């Protein structure tokens, strides 16, 4: 029997789940046995892994027998139900849904930012949401140098963040519109093709969306500073892969754009692409399938003292979900 871990991937047929299988293979993660798990809707599907074709198994209480690591991508309800069962089987859960990220004793980890948090885990480690991860990777090194006091972020989020059905919906709506047919609306509350929808996840009491408040809470938790004041507007745009973010920050210590660039050039997991006069700035289509977070358009925020504006882009499925989860497992 090969040495390594028994790895369960829950929601293996989702966009992030299938990316996860790809990344496990690419990074040669020591997998002794792969358990591709999903709900009964995926019966009959197969997963390709290292030359093998493995049938997807319907998740149940016995799925985690002998499992060492479980990656969860199948939605909050599935995580709430099966993560505790996995933990009872001695399996460490790396959960990419938002089921546990808010809990005090569940570490929320971005390996480039707070790897030390992993140590204290009690069986479950939470993977932050995609829009938070790229923000934290880029802002953490700045925060360490100059103490960020306030963040205003407006996002341009890809449909793959919602999943495969949303990617199909965008594709089909575009086809329908180009063929003079009424586009069908199923996944999103409105047509996403050729539109921008300021509505991701549900609305909560304060008229923000859950996604917006997740950025607030997760960023504070990961940067380990509850005094940072954060305001987010999260918007879905007709992009398949790659979340973009327009980010205004205010720091305690004044930093020039050059100083920020220097900090970021040396930051782990960050690539600075910032030569606008030669049309160089991060773009969703180029960030897709890349591991790093890209940052550019770094300039002084001319509306405030000690302000910096920038444009942050990352592959929301890779770094935003699957890759970050694998990096957490590698740290373990």
Instruction: Pick from 281, 316, 317, 318 the residue near a copy of itself by CB under 8 A.
Output: 281
Please, which residues bridge with residue 47 across strands?
54
Stretch that binds a copy of itself, among 6-14, 15-23, 240-248, 263-271 (CB under 8 A): 240-248
- Residue where the block lists tokens 């996840």: 201
Helix (H) or strand (E) holding 101, with range, is none
CB of 158 to a copy of itself, least distance (A): 8
**Nearest-5° Cα angle at 127, 54 to 63:** 35
247 to 266, contacts with a copy of itself by CB under 8 A? 248, 257
Distance CA 218, CA 62 (A): 32
Stretch that binds a copy of itself, among 6-14, 133-141, 167-175, 322-330 (CB under 8 A): 167-175
103 touches 110 (CB < 8 A): no
Q: Is 29 exposed, middle or buried (0-12, 13-18, 19+ CB in 10 A)?
A: middle
CB of 210 to a copy of itself, least distance (A): 12
CA quadruple 246, 252, 256, 260: dihedral sign:
negative
Helix axes 130-146, 210-223, angle to 10 degrees: 40
Residue closer to a copy of itself (CB basis): 58 or 265:
265
130 carries an active-site annotation: yes
Residue closer to a copy of itself (CB basis): 99 or 158:
158
Q: Catalog residues that contact a copy of itself under the rule CB under 8 A.
A: 150-152, 154, 156, 171, 174-175, 178, 189-191, 194-199, 203, 206-209, 216, 229-231, 233, 235, 237-240, 244, 246, 248, 257, 276-277, 279, 281, 283-285, 296-304, 307, 309, 311
């Amino acid at each position: 029997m090969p040495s390594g871990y028994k790895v369960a991937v829950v929601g293996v047929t989702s966009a992030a789940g299938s990316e996860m299988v790809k990344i496990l293979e690419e990074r040669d993660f020591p997998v002794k046995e792969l358990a591709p798990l999903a709900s009964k809707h995926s019966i009959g599907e197969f997963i390709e892994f290292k030359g093998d074709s493995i049938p997807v198994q319907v998740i149940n209480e016995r799925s985690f027998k002998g499992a060492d690591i479980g990656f969860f991508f199948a939605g909050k309800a599935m995580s709430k139900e099966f993560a505790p069962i996995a933990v009872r089987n001695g399996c460490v859960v790396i959960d990419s849904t938002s089921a546990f990220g808010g809990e005090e004793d569940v570490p929320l980890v971005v390996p480039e930012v707070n790897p030390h948090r992993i140590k204290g885990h009690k069986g479950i480690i939470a993977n932050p949401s995609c829009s938070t991860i790229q923000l934290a990777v880029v802002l953490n090194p700045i925060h360490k140098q100059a103490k960020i006091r306030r963040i205003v972020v407006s996002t341009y989020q890809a449909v793959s963040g919602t999943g495969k059905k949303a990617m199909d919906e965008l594709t089909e709506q575009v086809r329908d519109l180009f063929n003079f047919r009424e586009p069908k609306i199923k996944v999103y509350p409105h047509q996403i093709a050729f539109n921008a929808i300021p509505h991701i996840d549900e609305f909560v009491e304060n008229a923000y969306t859950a996604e917006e408040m997740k950025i607030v809470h997760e960023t504070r938790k990961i940067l380990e500073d509850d005094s940072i004041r954060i305001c987010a507007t999260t918007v879905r745009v007709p992009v398949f892969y790659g979340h973009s973010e327009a980010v205004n920050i205010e720091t305690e210590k004044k930093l020039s754009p050059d100083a920020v660039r220097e900090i970021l050039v040396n930051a782990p997991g960050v690539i600075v692409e910032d030569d606008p006069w030669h049309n160089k700035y991060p773009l969703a289509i180029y960030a897709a399938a890349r591991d790093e977070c890209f940052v550019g358009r770094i300039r002084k925020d001319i509306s405030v003292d000690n302000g910096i504006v920038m444009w942050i882009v990352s592959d929301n499925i890779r770094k935003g979900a699957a890759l970050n989860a694998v990096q957490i497992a590698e740290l373990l």
